[in-house]
Amino acid sequence: MEYKDDKGNTLYGFSQENLEQTNQAIRETNKLLQVLLVLILISLLLGIGFMSWLKMNSIIDLLIG
């Protein structure tokens, strides 16, 4: 890829604007991945808590019955 800077020099590779757009997209993706990770951890904790609650109720039912 060729780009011209303000002085008319030919630049090869990525322009600073493209790099900034790419960095912004990466930052947005990182934020979304962090949110996804938090949601997965919360659901994992809720699942463990629910399974523990079910086991606790089974033990209580056995003690009563």
The contacts of residue 13 (CB under 8 Å, 6+ apart) are 1
- Annotated domain spans of the chain: 2-64
Per mean pLDDT, which range of 21-25, 26-30, 51-55, 60-64 is the poorest?
60-64
Q: Position 41: which residue type?
A: L
Give dist(CA 33, CA 24) in Å, integer.
14
For 6-33, write each residue's pLDDT tens digit: 788 877 777 778 888 999 999 999 999 9
Question: What pTM did the predictor assign?
Answer: 0.62
